Structure 1
Amino acid sequence: MHDPIATSRRAVLRAVVVQAVVVGLVALAFLPRGGAAALAALVGGLAMVAGNALAAGMALGGIVPARVAFARLLLGTALKWLVAGMVFVVGVGVWRLPGLPMLAGLAAGLLAYLAALNLRVETGHPRVDRER
């Protein structure tokens, strides 16, 4: 039996892992510019990782009517950007981390998540592969 919610959860989990790896690589790329820059990139990227995981958890809560599903999707997206924005404000304003590396980590996390969600994974099962 085909369970689209379980398939979506696996795809989101895979995308969040890819996103976290990319954020780590971006933080390592900022390491020659200093520890503060690398930490800023890591914090910005991890804010997006947390936001996307939160949004996915909200959106993939189970089988519900369309209006509820759409409301969950909107709420999850709003919470994602709220988390990312608040971490950015706290990182730059309170912790005095450099803004550009933090923004680079945030952008890298966002782009990696979107790219990973659009990757197709071949299962070897002809029926499942054809449906995609």
Structure 2
Amino acid sequence: MLNSVAAGRRLARRAIAYQVIALCAASLVCLALGVESALAVLAGGGAVTLGAALSAGWSLRRDVVPSGVALARMFGGVVLKWLLVFTVFSLGLLLWRLPALPLLAGVLVALAAQFVAMVRR
């Protein structure tokens, strides 16, 4: 076995920590554009971060299951994450009237932070 579930949980926690730090920095930068822009960055990136936490919790449980069930959990976690991201993105644009570019920037910052956390050793 090359990778254990415990290692996956540690990697997920590290990725979420990186995302939170990157989102705080990005929202502080966007605060110069206005409060709505800072909130949009937090909403977009927060959806990705919360989705990553839910996905990790859903797919990296402690019980031992067959490989098909584990794969279905991983797929279900990814679907859950992206449903949450698209829902928050849609609500941010249509209901909350947040600016689109900072909302998208928050999503991209959180995804970039997740990538950095996963490639870093």
Return the TM-score normalized by structure 2. Answer: 0.92
2: distance between equivalents of 1:66 and 1:114?
25
Query: Bigger radius of gyration, 1 or 2?
Result: 1
| Whole-Å separation in 2 of the counterparts to 1:53 and 1:34 | 28
Tell me the residue number matched to 1:125.
Answer: none
List aligned pairs for 1:38-117, cutoff 5 A.
Answer: 38-62=38-62, 63-117=64-118
Once the two structures are superposed, what CA deviation does each residue of 1:36-84 show, in whole Å capped at 9, x if it has no partner? Answer: 0111011111000000111111110133111001100110000100000
After TM superposition, the score normalised by the length of structure 1 is 0.85
Count of residue pairs brought into register by the alignment: 118
Gaps of 5+ in 2: none
Q: Could you tell me which residue of structure 2 aligns to residue 30 of structure 1? A: 30
Aligned to 1:8: 8
1:19 aligns with 2:43: no
Deviation at 1:28, TM superposition (A): 1.0
- How far apart, in 1, do the equivalents of 2:81 and 2:16 lie? 13
Greater relative contact order: 1 or 2 (C-alpha under 8 angstroms, separation 6 or more)? 2
Identical pairs, percent: 42
Deviation at residue 24 of structure 1 after TM alignment: 1.0
Segments of 4+ in structure 1 off by > 4 A? Answer: none
Q: For 1:53 and 1:21, how far apart are their aligned partners in 2?
A: 15
Q: Distance in 1 between matches of 2:101 and 2:49?
A: 18
1:19-42 Cα shifts (integer Å, max 9, x gaps): 111011111111111110111011
Q: Which letter does structure 2 place at the counterpart of 1:92?
A: L
Matched residues in 2 for 1:12 and 1:74: separation?
16
SS state of the match for residue 103, structure 1? helix
In the TM superposition, what is the alpha-carbon distance from 1:7 to its structure 2 partner? 2.2
The amino acid across from 2:27 in the alignment is: A
Q: 1:4: Cα distance to partner?
A: 2.1
CA RMSD of aligned residues (A): 1.2
Q: Which amino acid aligns with 2:113?
A: A
Unaligned stretches of 5+ residues in structure 1 = 121-132
